[in-house]
Structure 1
C-alpha cells in the first residue's frame, strides 16, 4: 500500500470519497499477473485496481455543476473517447481508445480513499441503495445485461453456469423476471448458497437433470462451458456468454445453426447501471447477501492472494472500506 497525493479533478471530472469498493476476479488477475491487458499493452504496473465502488462527490473540476458535491454516486467503469464512431453510437464500452477505471489505460481505481471520475460517468444513488448495494451496481449491471440478452420471460427455464457474484446476480434478476432458475457450479457450498437466494435448482455437472432450458447464461471461467451451454439450450433458445476463461473456448457452429440458437457476448455493465439501481432501490433484487465480508485496505493483498477473512459469510464477494 502506497501513500499518494490527493487527486485533483480536471475539467469535466469529480473527486469521489470512496465509501465502499468491491474486489473482483479481474483484480485477482492483476494481482497474479494473469490479466490479458498486461500482456496486450493496455495496462502496466504500478496501477491501482478497483472498479466496483460507491461514494460521495467531494470536489468538482471546471465546468462541472457544483450541485454534484455531497451527492452519493457510483459510476461507469468504461470511459470511451467520446469521439469515435462507436462512442457516438452509444457503445463507449467497446471504444478502442477507452480507459477502464482501475483496469485499462492507467486510470487509477477505487481501492483508495478517493477516486477521480468523469462527471459523464456518474450515476446518483437514492437513499434506498446503501453502501453495500451501491458498490454492487457495477457487477449488477453486467448481470442485468446478460439477463436482457437472454430475453428472459416469465415462465422461462434458465440455467446460469457459474455461481460467482455476476452469476448469482444474473440468477436474481432472472428470478425477478418470473423465470424458473437453475444454477450450475462445482462446489456444494456455493450451490447451497445459490439455493438460499431462491434458485429452483443448484447442480453439479454430474447431477444436472435433463431439463429443457430456454436460455443458458455462462458466467463461469470454464473454457468448456460455451459448448456445453449449446448442448443444453433448447432449439431456438439463447446462450449468453459473460464469463471469461483463461484458455480459448471452442464451439461447433453446426450445432448452433442446426438448433437455430442465438449466442451473445456481454462486456461490461455500462448499459445496465441505471436500471440496476432502480431494481435495487425498489427491492426487486437485493445484492447485499452476496457480500461475505468487508475489510480494510491493508487486508486487500491477502484477499487477492486467496485468503478468506475470518468470520466471512457464504457469499462470493468481498468489499473494502478504505477508511476502516
Structure 2
C-alpha cells in the first residue's frame, strides 16, 4: 500500500510499504480522511522535541487525525467492529501502569502516540493498524471529513472543560487556528460568550463570531477564562495578565522556544493554570457535539488533497484551490490528478 514517510528533516515521500496485518486486539482500518496538523509539520521540519529526546525517529510515518472504516479484525476483537466507521485515540497507553489504571493513559510513560512517537505508524496511508480498545465509532451523521476533525475537537473539548465556565460567562481564546476555532465553537454551543484574538479574523467572522480582536483592538472587560491556543512564546504570560483573578488559564499551544510566565502575577491573582495534552477524554463528547449538529467543523477544512500532495502541505504551501479555513485533509486513495 501507499504511505507517506518522513525520511529526515524536510524530506518526505510516498512509498510502497507492507500492507498492515491485524495482530491480537488490533484492527485494520481503511483510511478515508487524515488531517495535517502543526505536530506533523514539526516532525517534518525536525523541530519536534520528541525527535531530540529520542522517543521519535526517522523514518517516521505521520498522521494522528483520521477517520475510516474497519476492514479486518485481529484475534480477540469483537466482530461488531467489522465495517464500522471509526476514528481513534492518538494516545495508546500500556494499560498496566499506575497512570493507565488511574484513567490517565494519555500521560503513560510508555505510551505510543499514533504517527508521532515510535511504535505505531500513522494514518497518512491507505490503511492503518490500530488497537481496537482505542477505537471510537462514528454515527451516521458524522461524515469522513468531520470524523477526521474529532481528534483536534477532542483537544478543544478538553480546553472548554478545563476553563470551567457557565453559560453567559466570558471566554477569551488566543489563536484562530484549528484548535482555537474548535474551542470557540464548542464553547459557544454551551452558551458561553466567546471572544477570539488572532490573525484570521475574517474567517472567524464567517463562522458567526462577532467578538474578534487583534492585540491592539482587544477591549478590557473581565475575562472569566483564557485559552492559549497559539505557538507564540509571549502568549502564555499575556493569558495570565488578562484573566480575572481567581479564574483559569488553559494552555494547549506550544511555542518553538521557551515561554515565560511571571509566577508573581499568577500567585497574586490566584490563577489556576492547566495544561492540555491529548484529546482522550474529549473524544466522545466531541463526537456527540458533531452528531447532534451543535457544532459543524467542516467549514474549517480549506482543501482535501491526495497523499502525493501531503509533502507540499507540510512545507506550508497551501493547495491552489484552498479556501480560507485552517485545515487541510488528505484522501489517501485520491489520485493526484483529481486534487
Which TM bucket (shorter chain)? over 0.9
Q: In the alignment, which residue of structure 1 is the partner of 2:328?
A: 318
Deviation of 1:105 (Å): 2.2
**SS of equivalent to 2:216:** coil
- Contact map agreement 2:60 2:118 (CA 8 A) in 1: no
Q: 2: distance between equivalents of 1:153 and 1:194? A: 23
Out of 281, 287, 306, which is 1:271 matched to?
A: 281
Q: In the alignment, which residue of structure 2 is the partner of 1:221?
A: 231
Out of 96, 102, 120, which is 2:109 matched to?
A: 96
Q: In the alignment, which residue of structure 2 is the partner of 1:111?
A: 124
Q: In the alignment, which residue of structure 2 is the partner of 1:294?
A: 304
1:205 paired to 2:215? yes
CA-to-aligned-CA distance 1:193-249 (integer Å, 9 cap, x gap): 111222231111111111211000000001111110111111111100000111111
Q: 2: distance between equivalents of 1:252 and 1:37? A: 27
**SS of equivalent to 2:333:** coil
Structure 2 counterparts to residues 53-92 of structure 1, below 5 A: 53-92=66-105
Q: 2: distance between equivalents of 1:7 and 1:206? A: 52
Q: 2: distance between equivalents of 1:28 and 1:159? A: 26
- Contact map agreement 1:141 1:270 (CA 8 A) in 2: yes
1:159 paired to 2:169? no
Out of 18, 27, 51, which is 1:14 matched to?
A: 27
Q: In the alignment, which residue of structure 1 is the partner of 2:8?
A: none
Q: 2: distance between equivalents of 1:262 and 1:195? A: 30
Deviation of 1:114 (Å): 0.4
Q: In the alignment, which residue of structure 2 is the partner of 1:256?
A: 266
**SS of equivalent to 1:2:** strand
1:149 paired to 2:159? no
Q: 2: distance between equivalents of 1:226 and 1:132? A: 32
Q: Report the TM-score, using the length of structure 1 for normalisation.
A: 0.98
Q: Which runs of 5+ in 1 are unaligned?
A: none
**SS of equivalent to 2:265:** helix
Out of 246, 254, 262, which is 1:244 matched to?
A: 254
The list of structure 1 runs, each at least 4 consecutive aligned residues, that deviate by more than 4 angstroms after superposition, is none
1:24 paired to 2:34? no
**SS of equivalent to 1:105:** coil
Q: Which runs of 5+ in 2 are unaligned?
A: 1-13, 335-339
Greater mean deviation of Cα atoms: 190-199 or 159-168: 190-199
- Contact map agreement 2:34 2:66 (CA 8 A) in 1: yes
Aligned residue pair count: 321
1:305 paired to 2:320? no
- Contact map agreement 1:86 1:95 (CA 8 A) in 2: yes
Q: RMSD across aligned C-alpha pairs, in angstroms?
A: 0.8
